[in-house]
Structure 1
């Protein structure tokens, strides 16, 4: 698993997004991920609708600052890179933003 993962910039509050380069996620991978990182983990893909995105944010104890129409607009965008869409979705939902690079 370690060979197929890329860490994104950490977000305040201990949030760390990991991108896996293999196609399908298996439930058995979660235990290996927790053992490897020695940290709690959850697995998420890009939700299909705004309501689902807001529910997931609330389950992660993120205050619902986002507006459902804006989340829906973002999910319907034609963003070609899922990484950019996922990052924008986290930002819009109110997850802490990663710090800006120095300079």
Structure 2
């Protein structure tokens, strides 16, 4: 759902609206370094179904976080990348990732 689809009460509410969904943050993480084709992106986000990944990428695109570029080739090629807002969101998520790594249970 696009942030513009409903009123938000604060900055955190707006941010959570954009990243809500089990796979969105992982898709952003997978796109942090470079653009990726859909199949490559799906391999970077193990466990997600094709249908759900497509849906969540569309939502991220609607929110201006992800850019979907289609190339007029045979076979057609589609690449996803982060927009400037997507890169800014990735930077904002880095401290959250560090917090999670520090508190992640160690299995061994």
Same fold (TM over 0.5): no
Task: Pick the structure with more helix per residue.
Answer: 2
TM-score, structure 2 as length reference: 0.27
Larger Rg: 2
Task: Pick the structure with more strand per residue.
Answer: 2
TM-score, structure 1 as length reference: 0.28
